[in-house]
Chains A and B, each alone.
Chain A
Amino acid sequence: MISKLFDPQSVALVGASTKQGSVGYVILENLVTRFKGVVYPVNPKYDEVELWGRRIKFYKSILEIDAPIDAVVIATPAPTVPKILEEAGLKGVPVAIVVSSGFAEAGNVELENWTKAVAKQYGIRVLGPNCIGVYNAYTNFDTIFLPADRAGRPPPGPLALISQSGAVAAAIMDWAARRKIGLGLMVNYGNKIDITEVELLEAFAADDRIKVITLYIEGFKYPGEASRFLESVRKIVPKKPVVVYKAGRGRAAQRAVKSHTAAMAGTYEMYHGLFQQAGVIEASSVREMFDMAKALAYQPIPRGKRVLVVTDSGGMGIQAVDALEALGLEVPEVPESIANELKRELLPFAAVSNPIDVTGSATDEHYKIVLDTLLPTAFFDMALVVTLMQVPGLTKNLAEYIINSKKYGKPLVVVNFGGSELVQKFEDILEDNGIPVYPTPERAAKALWALYKYAEVKRKI
Chain B
Amino acid sequence: MTHTIVAKALAEARNKLREDEALALLKAYGIPTPDFALARDEEEAVKLAEQIGYPVAVKIVSPQIVHKTDVGGVILGVSNEREVREACVQIKEIIKKVPYAELEGVLIQKMVPKGVELIIGTVYDEIFGHVILFGLGGIYTEVYKDVSMRIVPITEEDAWEMIREVKAYRILTGYRGMPPRDVAAVVDILVKFSRLVQENPEIREADLNPVIALEEGKGAYVVDARFILKMP
Q: A residues bordering B, Cβ < 8 Å?
A: 219-227, 230, 258-262, 264-267, 269-270, 272-274, 276-277, 460
Contacts and interface: CB of A to CB of B under 8 A. Distances in A.
Contact of A264 (B133, B157, B206, B228): B133
Given A261-B207, A264-B141, A273 B126 contact: no
B73 to A, nearest CB: 17
A258 B205 contact: yes
B10 interface: no
Most chain B beta-carbon neighbours within 10 Å: one of A221, A262, A266, A273: A273
B129 interface: yes
A262 B129 contact: no
B151 A227 contact: yes
B141 A224 contact: no
- Describe A's contact surface by its main secondary structure: helix
In order of increasing CB-CB distance, the 5 nearest A-B pairs are A261-B121, A273-B149, A226-B128, A273-B150, A265-B123
B181 interface: no
B148 interface: yes
A264 B166 CA distance: 14
B141 A272 contact: no
A225 B128 CA distance: 7
- Chain B contact surface mostly: strand
B161 interface: yes
A258 B121 contact: no
Contact of A230 (B151, B157, B205, B206): B151
Given A224-B127, A260-B119, A265-B131, 14 more contacts: A223-B126, A226-B151, A259-B205, A262-B121, A262-B123, A264-B135, A265-B149, A267-B125, A272-B148, A273-B131, A273-B162, A274-B151, A277-B151, A277-B154
B20 interface: no
A227 B131 CA distance: 11
Given A258-B205, A261-B206, A264-B135, A274 B147 contact: no
A270 B125 contact: yes
A445 B80 CA distance: 61
Contacts of A223: 126-127, 129
B161 A276 contact: yes
Contacts of B147: 264, 269
B202 interface: no
B158 interface: yes
16 contacts: A224-B129, A226-B151, A227-B129, A258-B205, A259-B121, A259-B205, A259-B228, A261-B207, A262-B121, A262-B205, A264-B121, A264-B145, A264-B147, A269-B133, A270-B149, A276-B150
Contacts of B90: none
Nearest to B119: A260
Interface of B: 119, 121-123, 125-129, 131, 133, 135, 141-142, 145, 147-151, 154, 157-158, 161-162, 165, 205-207, 209, 226, 228
B128 A260 contact: no
B191 to A, nearest CB: 14
Contact of A261 (B122, B127, B158, B162): B122
B151 A261 contact: no
B129 A261 contact: no
Given A261-B121, A270-B151, A460-B157, A226 B228 contact: no
A193 B135 CA distance: 37
Contacts of B145: 264, 266, 269
A283 B93 CA distance: 56
A226 B131 CA distance: 10
A261 B128 contact: no
A220 B127 CA distance: 7
B116 to A, nearest CB: 16
Contacts of B129: 223-224, 226-227
Which of A221, A269, A460 has the most chain B CB within a 10 Å cutoff?
Answer: A269
Contacts of A225: 127
B188 to A, nearest CB: 19
A259 B128 contact: no
Nearest to A258: B205
A78 B132 CA distance: 42
Nearest to B165: A276
A264 B146 CA distance: 9
A261 B154 CA distance: 17
A312 B101 CA distance: 75
A272 B228 contact: no
Contacts of A262: 121, 123, 205
A221 B127 CA distance: 7
A222 B127 CA distance: 6
A270 B149 CA distance: 6
Contact of A259 (B127, B142, B207): B207
